Amino acid sequence: MDLQACIFDLDGVIVDTAMYHYLAWKRLAAELGIVLTEEYNERLKGVSRFDSLNLILALKGISLTDEEKNQLAEKKNKWFVDYIHSMTEKNIYPGVQPLISDLKKAGIRTALASSSKNAFTVLRQLGMLHQFDAIVDGNMIINTKPHPEIFTKTAGLLNVPPDKCLVIEDAAAGVEAAKAAGMSCVGIGDSAILHQADLVVSHVSEISLEKLRSIKLTDKT
């Protein structure tokens, strides 16, 4: 296997910021008279802030102007940023740092591709900014997952062909985006949800360099 680059998602792969997103969205939903359950919140994973808000508003058939939506989205984001400022390197999932270290020792490039517009803030809190050869966040793309733009852009910054890249994702939209970009993908979570992935594990700590190298890369032909 000729793996040249490994691209990590952020939320649910490197750290659990999903919890803070849920708390912020739930708080906003409550102000609108909407009960946001953890089950429904699964639909928001890997989805842009604006699209997430639309999904929440749809629960009660609320129609708002784009300006009103922007104000609500910014309110949610402020709460989220307040939450993540309490994060430290102790919040990094077990197994992440050893895996990145092994990839670097093997000469495999590492990158982060997250739809979050706060990815740089989170990485700074975790002390991980220097660990990636390329970082692409929600501020750098037009189309969010499941569109492949974020991954094709990341591959371009790495100067690595998509078929030599492997993505680690925890959301169905992210797995779909990786496959649409012509990349192989490891899913973290439920195999029934992440069935498009080439391999599904329950936690990032189950991923090793040897396991990644055993995956047959997507054939671009």
| Listed range (11-15, 145-149, 217-221) with the worst mean pLDDT | 217-221
Let me know whether 67 and 140 are in one domain.
no
Mean pLDDT across 9-19: 90
For the chain, the first-to-last Cα distance in angstroms comes to: 16
Let me know whether 124 and 143 are in one domain.
yes
Mean pLDDT across 116-138: 95
Let me know whether 71 and 125 are in one domain.
no
Q: Which of 2, 11, 51, 133 is catalytic?
A: 11
221 within a domain of the structure (yes/no): no
Mean pLDDT across 146-169: 97
Residue 141 in this model has a pLDDT that exceeds 60: yes
- Per-residue pLDDT tens over the stretch 170-191: 999 999 999 999 999 999 999 9
Nearest-angstrom CA–CA distance, 43 and 161: 30
Mean pLDDT across 2-18: 93
Residue 118 in this model has a pLDDT that exceeds 80: yes
What is the reported pLDDT for 17? 84
Residue 221 in this model has a pLDDT that exceeds 60: no
Last residue of a domain, one of 29, 59, 84: 84
Q: What rounded mean pLDDT belongs to the chain?
A: 94
Backbone φ and ψ for 67, nearest 5 degrees, come out as -65, -45
Last residue of a domain, one of 84, 101, 125: 84
Let me know whether 142 and 62 are in one domain.
no
Let me know whether 99 and 208 are in one domain.
yes
CB 60 within 8 A of CB 98: no
Last residue of a domain, one of 46, 67, 84: 84
Let me know whether 99 and 149 are in one domain.
yes
Let me know whether 31 and 122 are in one domain.
no
pLDDT > 90: percent of the chain: 86
Strand 184-188 relative to strand 165-169: parallel, antiparallel, unpaired?
parallel
Nearest-angstrom CA–CA distance, 76 and 207: 33
Mean pLDDT across 34-50: 88
Let me know whether 121 and 72 are in one domain.
no
Residue scoring higher pLDDT (134 or 21): 134
Encode 60-99: b = buried (16+ Cβ within 10 Å), e = exposed: eeeeeeeeebeebbeebbebbeebbeebeeeebbeebeeb
Let me know whether 67 and 146 are in one domain.
no
pTM, full prediction: 0.83
What is the reported pLDDT for 48? 80
Residue 16 appears among annotated catalytic residues: no
Let me know whether 68 and 43 are in one domain.
yes
149 within a domain of the structure (yes/no): yes
The tokens for 95 are 């197994």
In what side-by-side order are the strands of the sheet with 134-136?
134-136, 109-113, 5-8, 165-169, 184-188, 199-201
Residue 219 in this model has a pLDDT that exceeds 60: no
Nearest-angstrom CA–CA distance, 19 and 73: 17
Let me know whether 55 and 126 are in one domain.
no
What is the reported pLDDT for 212? 95
What is the reported pLDDT for 218? 62
184 within a domain of the structure (yes/no): yes
| Total tally of structural domains belonging to the chain | 2
| Listed range (13-17, 41-45, 111-115, 138-142) with the worst mean pLDDT | 41-45
Residue 9 appears among annotated catalytic residues: yes
| Listed range (16-20, 26-30, 39-43, 122-126) with the worst mean pLDDT | 16-20
Q: What is the CATH number of the domain that holds 187?
A: 3.40.50.1000
Helices (H), the chain: 18-31, 38-41, 49-58, 66-84, 96-105, 119-126, 149-158, 172-180, 209-213
Nearest-angstrom CA–CA distance, 21 and 28: 11
Let me know whether 58 and 94 are in one domain.
no
Mean pLDDT across 105-132: 95
Range of the domain at 154: 5-15+89-213
